[in-house]
Amino acid sequence: MESAQQDSLLHKQLFGDHFIWGVSTAAFQIEGATNIDGKGVSIWDTFTKRKGKILNNDNAEIASDFYNRYKEDIDLVHQLNIPNFRFSISWTRVLPNGEGEVNPKGILFYNQIINYCLEKGIVPWITIYHWDLPQVFEEKGGWTNREIINWFTYFVQVCAQNFGDRVTSWIVLNEPAVFTGAGYFFGIHAPGRVGIKNYLLAVHHAVLSIVAGAKTLRAILPNARIGTTFSCSHIEPFSNKTRHINAAKRVDAFINRLFIEPILGMGYPVNEVPVLKGIEKIKQQGDEQNMQFAFDFIGLQNYTREIVKCSYFTPYVFAKLVKAAKRKVETTSMGWEVYPPAIYEVIKKFNGYKQIKDIYITENGSAFDDINANGVIDDTKRLEFLKNNLKQVLKAKAEGYMVNGYFAWTLTDNFEWAEGYHARFGLIYIDFKTLQRTVKSSGKWYAHFLK
């Protein structure tokens, strides 16, 4: 009874008539067709072929088969009453060699997606870069090579010129903290590089590329709404001891502040993380100005909180995360703590930056071990996660914090990077043997909520 009463307080109308509702996806995770119709090779195509890098040695050669089933999936977006559909552009599908000649079949594919969305009354949102760097560039250093700024700018230009006549909402780059950290420091994501030197180069070049890409979009599409997204976790110290509090501040600087602050003109958070001073040796004349851009909106992507304790044996950050399993709290199948107040806290935190013009939640979701019982997927835990996170977003909005959109992650189950097909985040279940789609209880609830 109490749960029903709480749910009755959660009305779409309470968020306001101009609140933006949507669902987010990423090209490499859903499209498949990795070597079809002229597509080139990305770092994730290469990485998934390295034995032991992906759980169960899964690959994305078929993924969710969105390449062949995009109309079916967009029809499902329409059926779920979702008015905004966020998807990304595969760099090597439109530019097989990363630069130079454009692939007409790649351009046609994304034009078909855009046109079909518009036909169904769905607003298309494009993410230009969602981690699938062309392999030819990785062989030249990838994000550690300063030339990436020019390579990326050309890719942005191609996207703007081919899709900008119908797409008005753009996201330059997805979660730089993740692809630089996991891909260029820890080596657990593509391209599998490790070390502080690779990491610092990748970080700085990503910041410069975000801004260069945004400026390119603004020049070609002056009336477009331009944003970029950041992965955010609510960070708390293990206890109120000073060493744990300071450790939490250092982790917060790496996870939440590292990219937003230079883009806002505040520079890198070197006081909390002195190793970032190494970027000063990388900087060239004019970089300070070329690190700043006034975005129309910032996308925040939150899934959990992290508890941090001091660890003098961990280089550079001198801190470590206390795993959720050790804290005996509820977790998702990713091992992440289920903690809905985290989304409220990150909204509150980013509202502290007065330079930010607008904030959307561009990803929020959960992975659980779904069971298909004769065509019924009763994903109660995901449904509760969705409701409770929306309540926290509403709480933030009711308290006067700026947050004007929410995009669920994700539409269908997909290829979840290093987790392969183990982690299911979708509102729609996919049988990866038959590729049959089945709307889960969470998807049905979201559809009812948005109706």
Per-residue confidence (pLDDT) for residue 9, from 0 to 100:
72
Residue 392 falls inside a structural domain: yes
Per-residue confidence (pLDDT) for residue 273, from 0 to 100:
95
Amino acid present at 30: I
Based on the residue annotation, tell me whether 175 is a catalytic residue of this protein.
yes
Amino acid present at 437: R
| List of E strands, 213-289 | 225-237
Which uninterrupted H or E stretch holds 380?
helix 380-398
Residue 80 falls inside a structural domain: yes
Separation of alpha carbons 449 and 10, rounded Å:
9
Residue 251 falls inside a structural domain: no
Instruction: Spell out a b/e string for 156-194, using b for 16 or more CB atoms within 10 Å of the CB, else e.
Output: bebbbebbbeebebbbbbbbbbbbbbbbbbebebbbbbe
Per-residue confidence (pLDDT) for residue 5, from 0 to 100:
46
From the candidates 138, 175, 337, 416, give the one annotated as an active-site residue.
Answer: 175
Domain containing 116: what range?
Answer: 18-231+298-303+338-450
Which uninterrupted H or E stretch holds 75?
helix 66-79
Based on the residue annotation, tell me whether 99 is a catalytic residue of this protein.
no
Q: What is the mean pLDDT of each run of 10 residues along the chain (451 residues)?
A: 56 96 99 98 98 98 98 98 99 98 98 99 99 98 98 99 98 98 98 98 98 98 98 98 98 98 98 96 97 98 98 96 97 98 98 98 98 96 98 98 98 98 98 98 98 93
What is the distance between the terminal CA atoms of the chain, rounded to a whole angstrom? 24
> Which CATH number characterizes residue 380's domain?
3.20.20.80
Separation of alpha carbons 206 and 144, rounded Å:
9
From the candidates 306, 345, 363, 416, give the one annotated as an active-site residue.
Answer: 363
Per-residue confidence (pLDDT) for residue 6, from 0 to 100:
52
Separation of alpha carbons 431 and 324, rounded Å:
29
Per-residue confidence (pLDDT) for residue 1, from 0 to 100:
41
Residue 254 falls inside a structural domain: no
Per-residue confidence (pLDDT) for residue 2, from 0 to 100:
44
The pTM score is 0.97
CA-based R_g, the chain, Å: 21
Separation of alpha carbons 363 and 23, rounded Å:
8
Please work out, in degrees rounded to the nearest 5, the angle formed at the alpha carbon of residue 211 by the alpha carbons of 207 and 217.
145
Residue 123 falls inside a structural domain: yes
Separation of alpha carbons 330 and 320, rounded Å:
20
Separation of alpha carbons 56 and 34, rounded Å:
19
Query: How many structural domains does the chain have?
Result: 1
The 8-class DSSP code of residue 331 comes to: B
Which residues, 6 or more positions from 358, have their beta carbon under 8 angstroms from its beta carbon? Answer: 227, 296, 297, 298, 402, 404
